[in-house]
A and B are shown apart, each in its own frame.
Chain A
Amino acid sequence: MSDLLRSRPLLSGFIAIFLLFLVTAAFPIISETKQAVVVQFGKPARILGATRAGINFRVPLFEQLVWIDKRVQSVDMDRQQVLSTDQRRLEVDAFARYRIVNPLLMYIRAGDEKRLQTALVPILGSEIRNELGQQPFAALLSPERQGVMENVRRKLDRVAAQYGARIIDVRIKKADLPDGSPRDAAFDRMRTAREQEARSILAEGAKRAQIIRATADADAARIYAASFGKDPDFYEFYRAMQSYQTTFLGDDPNNPPAGTNIILSPDNDYLKEFTGRGR
């Protein structure tokens, strides 16, 4: 060994590098997030790291590794227009989460992860359209309730299973009315509903105010009647006295009544004694 190193330093250097390469290639490090399909000349043979991450073994040069993500991944659908059974449109944004559970199958059927995604996207879109299209508009707003999303998931999962993937869930991210007339119509409806509400609030307020006033009038009348009714004749006199004062003198010093000339006849009750004929 040392003879070789001394006599042929360049060659032995190459051999050392080659040996190092063989060792690292033979014992690939597989992290927790990845798994690898071992491919022998284009033919998939086995999987590394599906259950155990860490150092694994492969035959260098004869076996290639195709890395496949083990984590939960997302596939996003393009915005889709869905037509409900009552002919109303809704724009839907959805995503599905999946995990590759059978990397071997996935490698054979799809090749790599990107191709799996491109295979899933159109199916996700069409399944969403199909399932949601069988619902009335009101049910579209919360498809989770009707189990519609579970149906989509099951159908998508059936397709994904062929590619060695499992769909964990399908969810709707956004559900909007399309721009233009459907949304404007909704705005109009909201606006008119508010205007109606405003009017009815005003009317209700006016009604309650009127009732309060009427009740107060009635209460006042009752109080007066209970008191004054004890002696209507005296009330007549008592009130007349008050009325004279108000009429001739006013009860507001800033706003005196119009000037009054009183012409008294000697027959007047007030001057009864003045004329001396009282007795």
Chain B
Amino acid sequence: MWAIGVVLLLWLVFTSTHVVAPGERGVVTLFGRYSHTLGSGVGFTFPYPINRVQKIDVENIRELPLGSASTETLMLTGDQNIIDIAYTVRWNIRDPEQYLFRLAQPDETIREVAESAMRAVIATVSLNDAIGEGRGEIENRVTERMQTILNAYQSGVAIQGIAIRQADPPEAVNEAFKKVTAAQQDAQSYINRANAYSLQLTQKAQGEAAAFDKVYEQYKLAPEVTRRRMYYETMEQILPKVPKTIIEAPGVTPYLPLPEVQKKAPQQQGGAQ
């Protein structure tokens, strides 16, 4: 007899005290009818089956990955191109009562709504926006759209955000897209080379012009002398380093030691290599 009493007591204690963890809410129903919601901490209710408590985590943000790296999830863009997209939906429960009582399959619903919203948004943007700079905008629009739809279902779900993990051209056309990237780099390198050439040429012109201007300034002060001086200086630089032959009298046929000349030339060339 006392054994039944102990079981009864344990049952009373265990079904009427509820420890609700931080970030959780306990939804209390009285004979199936919603009564109230317990906050975090220890809460007391009537024992089961009078009161029943369902604990729901409202703070933990859940992640729902859609599309994957291994299989292609193809979507049509507004300009009738196809992209391969993978994204993650981050959501949590805002309203535990609605989440429990309003939707038959909440998780499945979130997935379908996400797919539908993403498809709808992708169908309004161009391919370049979808794989390039438009991502942030797409994420925002999908988040907004999902929230509107889920609110219409009174689902009690809050969409925290969408993260597009990958938005690429499909495998079948990837090669062509790489060509574009390569072309962009090639074009840039053409331009870089031209810029380098331009800089070099301009600097050279400026340098030479400046040098000429300096010399010309001096030349103007004493043109004839400067001219002679420059002439002799140049000759002094050149003539010591090359073989010279001076032919004295006019009318004398010069004897050119051609073999010797030719002998020297290959030597010099050989030395240069």
User: Could you list which residues of chain A lie within 8 angstroms of chain B, going by C-beta atoms?
Assistant: 29-34, 52-55, 69-74, 95, 97, 137-138, 141-142, 144-145, 168-169, 171-177, 183, 186-187, 189-192, 194-195, 197-199, 201-202, 204-206, 208-210, 212-213, 215-217, 219-221, 223-224, 226-228, 230-231, 234-235, 237-238, 241, 244-245, 248-249, 254-256, 258-267, 270-271
Complex Cα distance, B167 from A234, in Å, reads 67
Q: How far is the CB of A72 from chain B (nearest CB, A)?
A: 5
Judged by a CB distance under 8 angstroms, whether B124 is at the interface is yes
9-residue interface stretch from B13-21, B133-141, B177-185: B177-185
A-contacting residues, B217-270, CB 8 Å: 219, 223, 227, 230-231, 234-235, 237-239, 241-248, 250, 254, 256, 261, 264-265, 268-269
> Restricting to B104-130, which residues have a CB under 8 Å from any CB of A?
104-105, 108-109, 112-113, 115-116, 119-120, 123-124, 127
Known: A175-B119, A194-B180, A212-B194. A168 touches B248 (CB 8 A): no
Q: 10 nearest interchain CB pairs? A: A205-B187, A54-B33, A216-B198, A227-B209, A209-B194, A194-B176, A31-B32, A220-B205, A198-B183, A212-B194
A172 touches B108 (CB 8 A): no
- Contacting pair A212 B195 (CB below 8 A): yes
Asked if B58 is at the interface of the complex by the 8 Å CB criterion, the answer is: no
The 8 Å CB contact of A224, one of B176, B205, B250, B261, is B205
Q: Determine how close the nearest CB of chain B comes to the CB of A60; give it in whole angstroms.
A: 17
Chain A contacts for B170, CB-based, 8 A = 187
Q: Which residues of B contact A256 (CB under 8 A)?
A: 268, 272
Q: Is the CB of B205 within 8 A of A219?
A: yes
* Interchain CA distance A97-B206 in the complex, whole Å: 77
The yes or no answer to B10 lying at the interface (CB within 8 A) is no
- The verdict on A235 contacting B212 (CB below 8 Å), with A198-B182, A259-B264 known, is yes
Residue of A55, A74, A206, A260 near B190 (CB, 8 A) is A206
Main secondary structure of the interface of B (DSSP, over half): helix
CB distance A199 to B183 under 8 Å?
A: yes
User: How many Å lie between the Cα of A212 and that of B189 in the bound state?
Assistant: 13
Chosen A-B contacts, 14 in total, with CB atoms closer than 8 Å, are A30-B32, A54-B31, A55-B31, A74-B112, A95-B116, A142-B120, A169-B149, A172-B119, A186-B80, A195-B176, A205-B188, A209-B190, A223-B206, A261-B245
